[in-house]
Copies of this chain bind each other. A is one copy, B any other.
Amino acid sequence: MLTYELKKAPGVPLYEALYRCIRQDILCGNLKPGEKLPSKRALAEHLEIGKITVEAAYAQLLDQGYICSREKVGFFVEAVERPEPAPPQPPAAKTPETSSAPVLDLTINGTGHFPFSVWSRLQREVILDYDRQLLLPLPNQGIPELRRAIADHLAAFRGMTIDPENILIGAGTDFLYNLLIQLLGRGKNYAVEEPGYGKIRQIYAAGGVTCISVPMDSRGVIPEALGDAQVLHISPSHHFPTGLVTPLSRRQELLSWAGKTNWIIEDDYDSEFRFASHPLPALQSLSPERVIYINSFSKSLAPSIRISYAVLPGQLMEQFRCRLGFYSCTVPSFEQYTLARFLSRGHFEKHINRMRRFYQKRRNLVIDALSRCAAADKLTILEQDAGLHFLLQVDTQWTDEQLTQWLLSLGIRVQALSSFYHATDPGELHCLVVNYSGLEEPRLEAALQKLEQAMT
């Protein structure tokens, strides 16, 4: 008799699990074409599951042509084509570091807690409900349902009043930045934060615009240092990697700099994960006519979901339609409908709330572990109020390069704050950027043990 250990996995109903086991046996040849399957009652008793579960599994196998039914005789395995020989494997990263994976990687983002079962249920619903509508050409701004859902989300979560007509959906922020270059003009000078996220600078450079690095003080980007920039790209609500939040007074200075001719690109990339109770209003809300707001679901949901969006000032959206309206939308309709439902039914909010609590706990765990470790008296934690990373000041004579190399030799990968300076040399800052979002607890303990051994 067929024997399977059917685990109730989240998102996979029992009948699907059974269907999957039998299908696997058919595909790999354990069940031969023509072979008779046990009766539904017998299999249900044997596996100690409900008869209705077996019935649903058999119905699905029947429907998909894996088995056939002969009246009053039973169910028989059909001859089926085999799938590709290799079982699905996660995509292998090509970088050599993966072969000697560090014990603890404090440079990557986590994805572990994405509500996959809800998402895949919505995917099945979307297939069922929209059917061939999913094949129709897309409006190039993105589907209206998703833009409406995003506007509602921004209203509820960020207090922003956005017309869905001003939202532009794109396959990732990289793509949107490139569109913005075409929209704002390649002849302008684009100012980026120093220190800052290196990729922003790379994208602008590849897009063919002149990048200016703007130094920051304790209140954020210094307006007097903007020189002849016409566009400023900033993350005022949570600067990466310093964690700095630009206060209202400085925001207003930056908006006066923008005036009526310059543009500000507000990168609000992880605003969802701020733990402080009263986030400052978005720059976009203060000056919707000069600020382009950008956010992404790749960070808050999963990196493989390539959906980002820009909120454009009305005047720019008009120009987009007029001058760049020939571009096709880059996000498939299927993903757009799924995300629209995920947002409008409240799943995103629930997910974010859950993640915020989860990350807060994880942060406390890391901070607690650091305060207990052998090197505790040499460590100071800075900027821990927002986002998914904090800064760790280390009292050491070593250079930043020596420190990160030594940690890497112990299996701890972490970046120095100084590595985020691109145009200037800040000297030795003795400060590490600790991204704890991808961290796993047992690895944290193991890494700290190694650290202690190495220090004693």
Chain A residues close to B by CB (< 8 Å):
11-13, 15-16, 20, 52-53, 55-56, 58-60, 62-64, 81, 83-84, 88, 90-94, 111, 114, 116, 120-121, 123-124, 127-139, 143-145, 171-172, 174-175, 178, 182, 186, 198-199, 202-203, 206-208, 298, 302-306, 323-324, 326-335, 337, 341, 344-345
Contacts and interface: CB of A to CB of B under 8 A. Distances in A.
Contact of A332 (B60, B207, B304): B304
A12 B306 CA distance: 28
Contact of A131 (B116, B182, B337, B344): B116
A144 B332 contact: no
A172 B133 contact: no
Q: Which of A20, A81, A174 has the most CB of B within 10 A?
A: A174
B63 A136 contact: no
A302 B135 contact: yes
Chain copies in the assembly? 2
Contacts of A302: 134-135
Contact of A59 (B15, B208, B333): B15
Given A111-B135, A116-B135, A306 B329 contact: yes
Contacts of A174: 326-328, 330
Nearest to A209: B208
Contacts of A114: 132, 135
A206 B323 CA distance: 8
Contacts of A123: 123, 127, 334
A45 B379 CA distance: 74
B55 A59 contact: yes
A298 to B, nearest CB: 8
Contacts of A171: 171, 175, 306, 330-331
Contacts of A20: 128
B206 A208 contact: no
Given A134-B302, A199-B326, A206-B323, 20 more contacts: A11-B131, A12-B131, A52-B55, A52-B59, A56-B56, A84-B341, A84-B345, A91-B333, A114-B132, A135-B305, A138-B303, A171-B171, A171-B331, A172-B330, A174-B328, A175-B175, A175-B330, A208-B208, A304-B334, A332-B335
B326 A203 contact: yes
A205 to B, nearest CB: 9
Contact of A94 (B134, B139, B207): B139
